[in-house]
Amino acid sequence: METVEMNSVSLKRPHSEDDVANADEIKRQKILEKSKTGNDSGQSIETVTEPPEDMKNEIIPNEESEEQEEEELEDSDEDGDPESFADMMKHGLTESDVGITKFVSSHKGFSGILKERYSDFVVHEIGKDGRVSHLDDFSVPVDDEVNFEDPSEETFTVLSDEDKQRLEELQLFKNKETSVAIEVIEDTKEKRTVIHQAVKSLFPGLETKTEDRDGKKYIIAYHAAGKKALANPRKHSWPKSRGSYCHFVLYKENKDTMDAINVLSKFLRVKPNIFSYMGTKDKRAITVQEIAVLRITAQRLAHLNKCLMNFKLGNFSYKNHPLKLGELQGNHFTVVLRNITGTDDQIEQAMHSLREIGFINYYGMQRFGTTAVPTYQIGRAILQNNWNEVMDLILKPRPGAEKGYLVKCREEWAKTKDPAAALKKLPVKRCVEGQLLRGLLKYGMKNIISAFGIIPRNNRLMYIHSYQSYVWNNMVSKRIEEYGLRAVPGDLILKGATAVHIEEGDVDNYTIHDVVMPLPGFDVIYPKHKIGEAYKEMLIADNLDINNMRHKIRDYSLSGAYRKIIIRPQNVSWEVVAYDDPKIPLFTTDLDKLEGKPLPVLPTDGKFRALKMEFSLPPSTYATMAIREVLKMDTSIKNQTQLNTTWLR
């Protein structure tokens, strides 16, 4: 999967005598901490609860993975004063709760603020050919043959808002009209051509003709071939010499990939499913990735640059194929940690260790939810076929940070066990709780399996994948505790797609970077040493049979996989920069370069120091875990908020 989430957080260590700054610095920190939002990403992280304008309602991106499944199922309301939020988060998870307990490096940890601004975290996608995606060209490719669909600038302004509304309703069969008539005010052939072009370009599936009515000329828009025309928009008008897919680079700020696709499809008046991409990128960051769209011209896409905020589209090309999830080689990260406290030696040691050794390939805290009911517990109940427990875990009252309407919904459910009554407490029905309640209304309380099936498949599978991640994290910690950072007989390595055990005589041929461990499932083997037995013991304790991970419902049968124990980032570089103003950018983005914006001149001896680091990671790995290794900090929201409020006192 390709999405890992982390809110903006400050990564701060608890006070020690060597960490405490002078009184002015402490005062400045108190002010800073009142202007940020916290969530999850470093050990002693200062989660700030009242974010500045450019940070509100944002989620940091993390990394990328080959499936699109890890959607945030449960929102939490983080408004309010720091102490009240910290009090609610006393019921949240810490890293140790999900098996994240070890580090591989020996340097001393230090503090820093991660994602003080979303522009401090930039992700560039790496394609399967190893090419890093950059937005560096706004030009539109020119075809050998002229196509009627390529619109002029006037195309986008010739129709009134009322005309567009009527045409959209006609296009989507939302009314009983069979056609829409648009009067030609300036009756010239050129004007009529532009209107014809505008209708056909902006509303796929519609055709046009010119008619005289009472001495006036009208453009009549109508459906070319019923609903099929909308599904396959005007196939005949696309030049044969042009690839069917327009590929482009999407640069986005503070938007996740699905939100971006939904916005683009709305403005283009097409269905979101004609877009394809290699991996999802999360919200709170600047991200650059390749997108492909079926039979939409580069010119139409380029026009959106004038209409949309937080997006830029460029580097257009036509190809004969869409993109597929998981085709990417990974992602390149540019991360700024502001207000760092580490000495130059500590920073050098930390970054050298990251480059030479790497970090433990844990699943990050984002994988397990933010409330008092971790997602892995629900996944375990699904695998146990305990559907009453699944329903109870999702709907019962829970301590911790939640939106008020969810609290009322849970209270109603606990009191009445009436799906209709509980559903009435939810203004937003698309949340998991609302979907399950709708399912219970439809199928009844005795058919929880079908009711649960109303929840989108990716969200349902996220629960059992969370349980797999929970097991893997615990097992990899045991493996490192037991055998350290070396390959040992009985470990697993991959040969092609097949896992094999390291034999006694071959152990010197491998390093810890070759070793993999299984995610539990019906098609994997386990290490031939103590950790293999530990897997079995853990699943037995959870009333699961490691030798029978097939579920009677096929969707919930766990197919296993293998995951490297240690990830060594590629292309690692870093520098320490000084700055005075926390609001200024500390490097230029692709868009800055295109627009010719210079990097602010930084002082040689500023008030604050920042660590700018760059590194590349493969899919399905968590940048938060790499940063955790550098700072030596717990990335849980619970730890962040508790430390933050202690600091504020």
Secondary structure letter of residue 37 according to DSSP: B
Assess contact for 114 and 47: CB atoms under 8 A: no
* CA distance linking residue 570 with residue 560, whole number of Å: 27
3-state secondary structure of 646: helix
Secondary structure letter of residue 122 according to DSSP: E
Distances, alpha carbon 439 to alpha carbons 430, 444, 455, 457, 461, in Å: 12, 8, 8, 14, 17
Strands (E), 202-285: 206-213, 216-223, 245-253, 275-277
* CA distance linking residue 138 with residue 305, whole number of Å: 9
* CA distance linking residue 312 with residue 333, whole number of Å: 19
Among 491, 512, 615, CA closest to 565? 512
Angle between helices 387-395 and 375-383 (to 10 degrees): 160
3-state secondary structure of 33: helix
Residue 573 main-chain phi, psi, to 5 deg = -145, 160
Assess contact for 82 and 645: CB atoms under 8 A: yes
Among 119, 118, 109, CA closest to 7? 118
Beta strand 608-617 with 570-579 is: antiparallel
* CA distance linking residue 403 with residue 74, whole number of Å: 10
What would you report as the CA-atom Rg of the chain, rounded to the nearest whole angstrom? 27
Distances, alpha carbon 246 to alpha carbons 238, 252, 266, 301, 631, in Å: 12, 18, 17, 9, 42
Please list, in sequence order, all residues whose beta carbon lies within 8 angstroms of the beta carbon of residue 134, skipping any fewer than 6 positions away. 124, 249, 288, 315, 590
Confirm whether 282 is a catalytic residue: yes
Assess contact for 177 and 170: CB atoms under 8 A: yes
* CA distance linking residue 72 with residue 88, whole number of Å: 19
Residue 43: is it exposed, middle or buried by C-beta count within 10 angstroms (0-12/13-18/19+)? buried
Please list, in sequence order, all residues whose beta carbon lies within 8 angstroms of the beta carbon of residue 150, skipping any fewer than 6 positions away. 143, 297, 299
* CA distance linking residue 368 with residue 352, whole number of Å: 30
Catalytic residue, from 282, 491, 590, 634: name it.
282
* CA distance linking residue 319 with residue 618, whole number of Å: 25
* CA distance linking residue 125 with residue 323, whole number of Å: 13
Distances, alpha carbon 354 to alpha carbons 582, 630, 649, in Å: 26, 7, 34
Instruction: State the catalytic residues.
Output: 282
